[in-house]
Structure 1
């Protein structure tokens, strides 16, 4: 029992000693900390130069991208951008002076210098050059801005050079419709792309086409030189049905018959193709020249002035006045493929229809109008059209 008691006393003593030792160490640390003065940083913040979005010495910069200068300090005090001729480039500066942006399209084959200074005194300068082009391609857009067109109207963008990079062109074009309509692109030639919905447009639809094509590369060394934009409205549905069985053309508006007239279509040698046509250009007078479509005068061609010619195809099919065939209208086909009507009826038809209205020809001995004709878009089935052909350039 005595041994047990001494062991307990030893343990207690060890605990007290350890506690006393710990207190002594803490006191020393506290005293040391108390005697060491605190240190504070007096280093000045680093001043940064403006940040320019284009690297100094860069070449082949695409001019469709704006140049941006950002302040990394207190704000921009001045930014000036000039081309190699000293012309100052238009620009905008945010209200807080922290961001500067070019406000005009840059040119191809140009050299530019940007000089920027921050309010903190730091400056930055870069000189760069834009893409050197072999050629610039322009494009035209139809229908025109503000137009009212028929339910069959397709959107057309035509380039004055061949387009090899079709997919890049399609990506640059935005079609917005109210109400929303599904549509797709299809190339009818190496120079022309179309966009249309699956079915005819609904009257009253609002359509906006925004083609941001400037700077898009479409071939080796060839770039698009202009943007394009247009908004148009779909008018009431107007459709003419040309039936070779009855030799008549019946015109409907919003499903109601408006007028019927006798016609003479293409003869057995030059039969009028069947299918859906889209109304195109309209001419109060026109010289119809078959040589422009490959038919010489020696081989049965013609060069004839006509009145009230309304275009149905790029290949030269028109509704037009043909007073010389009045005897055949309603009973025989004697034309080279056009829809012959009286002068009075030709004038009425031209005044009544608009671009994008429909003409459907049926029951002739001809084949179907090609979907690649230019105004025969609706003769390409939707599955084919929707699949597209951008990869076939």
Structure 2
């Protein structure tokens, strides 16, 4: 979340930034934040004054009694009691102001970087770069859901029977291809210096608030209500929360972690052609890369992460493009995001397979994730993460783009992992 210092010292800049994200009633909300903070600070000032007076009077009471000034001592006792009662009411006021302030701050998104383009919809995103070979398929090329059935790789109907729509069952070479992609992505991350983490797939409420998935304004998280635990929508949540309430030595930065996990998203409101087959699932596999860094180095880290993801899609021999998202299409918590899309030749559309984001200090402030400088000061870290990569749409593009008369060709980089170079009928 935004810091009070950001809001009070750069109020107009914050309001302008929120406008770029199309946050409604930004000025009004910021005014309420400043008012709640002023109320909290003023109340704290009175409380501190009361406490100082109580301490001074308490010390004087014994001395007054020794000097035989009983009447004055009793008056001091009465004043102490009065101040204590007054302080109880002030503490209630301060608690109310603190809660209001915290709840307001949770509703305010991150401020976009100056590099974020203006815009409201995906059509306003900027294409930064395209790469990979164009794929030409015959007119009768099949989408991945037909190929999955024809080659007995994925059973969507069985998933509906067992659980419901959006929970496919991978079979045979389809399951092996999933495992191959996971291992390939993890090995590439390890070779790039990322420490592998195997995190829990369920997190507590504090972890959800720490990375910004809570409050869950769009109802996208699966919630185990009896235990008040949440299924993770991405490994970003447990991995970044490793550093919640932690002060890191400056020499340890940047920290580089990677993790494979299953991911769970309700995808409420999703319908139509965009959800066909693997295009949008409730459960899917993903390898995530996470960095914790110093503010002055975080954008260099961002560029390195973008280059890492680009290298993956190149090795998979997929046509791709990199988009710089506009303010209105970014996530709530991100300061800047670059999306990777691969081209599905059979569906004739671009499929998002990765988002790489710098959150600057927004998540770190929620997490209280700080680092200690050489001169012993503590500063908020910057946090970053990216999909490297999400499997469903990668698999969809691999199946569709590599279909031939003989079968489905496997990219060279994956052959050592899956043990076959062609999927035949």
Q: TM-score, normalised by structure 1?
A: 0.22
Bigger share in helix: 2
Structure with the larger RCO, 1 or 2 (CA within 8 Å, 6+ apart): 2
Which structure shows the higher strand fraction?
Answer: 1
